[in-house]
Copies of this chain bind each other. A is one copy, B any other.
Amino acid sequence: MALDGDDTLWHNETRFHLTQTALRDLLRRHVPDADVDRHLSDVEMRNLSLYGYGVKAFTLSMLETAIQVTDGRIPTADLEVILGWGKKMLGEPTELLDGVVEALQALNGRYELLLITKGDLFDQESKLARSGLGEMFSGVEILSEKNEDAYRSVLRRRHIDPKEFVMVGNSLRSDIVPVVATGARGIHIPYPLTWHHEQVADEKMPKQGWYRLESIAGLAALLDSIDRASPGVG
């Protein structure tokens, strides 16, 4: 079985959210009625195919947004502040979600645990190292995009039968929908904040093959009950 990292094991979206709030405040000092969130979101989506995911991509898109929203009137000192936010995000300690260590310990030895995250290779490796969880995983996969092809390729390479695989994560779009499409199962543990890009409308969700948990504390018990229904899953 595998777990996602960002917002499943450690806090992530919160740091983006706080930084985006700071950007909004900063830019409104120059352009009081600017719709900073919408502009940033447009810039991010436009840049996605060149930059991919992660803090460096986010920082570059914030700088582009800041220059455009202010029609170039933003002082360079403010752009330095934005550069500094990116560095701060990259250097912050990895803050684990409540109950993560206990939940992983309850699984350890009973399941082979993989970590499957997406985003910036360097930042994700660094976060994993700082999380102290590295020893608990028998393998780590950092993908540039978590789609059906990417999951199929991981399962093939690791000789894992999709029928025996379960993925746990907070993103319907990245951790559940593509996993269920491979014939494996997903366990969705929502995080209080979700980037709009990761959301999926209810009617577009698969009808079966996935479960929802309120917190990672219930993971071992849920896996037990799935395993009783279809032995070998995990």
Instruction: Show the binding face of A for B, using Cβ within 8 Å.
Output: 47, 50-53, 56-57, 59-60, 63-64, 67, 70, 72-77, 79-80, 83, 86-87, 90-91, 120-123, 125, 139, 142, 144, 157
Across-interface contacts of A63 in B (CB, < 8 A): 63, 79, 83
Q: A60-B60, A67-B80 known; A142 and B122 CB under 8 Å?
A: no
- Taking a contact as CB atoms under 8 Å apart, the answer to whether A72 and B72 are in contact is no
Q: How many copies does the complex hold?
A: 2
Across-interface contacts of A56 in B (CB, < 8 A): 51, 56-57, 60
Cα–Cα, bound, A75→B73 (Å): 9
Across-interface contacts of A86 in B (CB, < 8 A): 60
- Taking a contact as CB atoms under 8 Å apart, the answer to whether B57 and A83 are in contact is no
- Taking a contact as CB atoms under 8 Å apart, the answer to whether A72 and B83 are in contact is no
Cα–Cα, bound, A75→B79 (Å): 11
Across-interface contacts of A47 in B (CB, < 8 A): 87
A7 CB, min distance to chain B CBs, angstroms:
19
Q: A50-B91, A87-B50 known; A76 and B72 CB under 8 Å?
A: yes
Name the one of B50, B76, B142 contacting A79, with C-beta atoms under 8 angstroms.
Answer: B76
A19 CB, min distance to chain B CBs, angstroms:
15
Prevailing SS type, chain A contact patch: helix
Across-interface contacts of A122 in B (CB, < 8 A): 51-53, 120, 144
- Taking a contact as CB atoms under 8 Å apart, the answer to whether A74 and B72 are in contact is no
Please indicate which of the listed interface residues A59, A75, A79, A157 has the most CB atoms of chain B within 10 Å of its own CB. A79
Cα–Cα, bound, A47→B91 (Å): 11
Cα–Cα, bound, A189→B142 (Å): 29
- Taking a contact as CB atoms under 8 Å apart, the answer to whether A76 and B67 are in contact is yes
Across-interface contacts of A157 in B (CB, < 8 A): 139
Cα–Cα, bound, A83→B72 (Å): 13
| Leading 5 A-B pairs by shortest Cβ distance | A52-B122, A121-B121, A56-B56, A72-B76, A50-B90
Cα–Cα, bound, A50→B56 (Å): 10
- Taking a contact as CB atoms under 8 Å apart, the answer to whether B87 and A52 are in contact is no
Cα–Cα, bound, A86→B50 (Å): 10
Q: Which residue of B lies closest to A77 (CB)?
A: B72
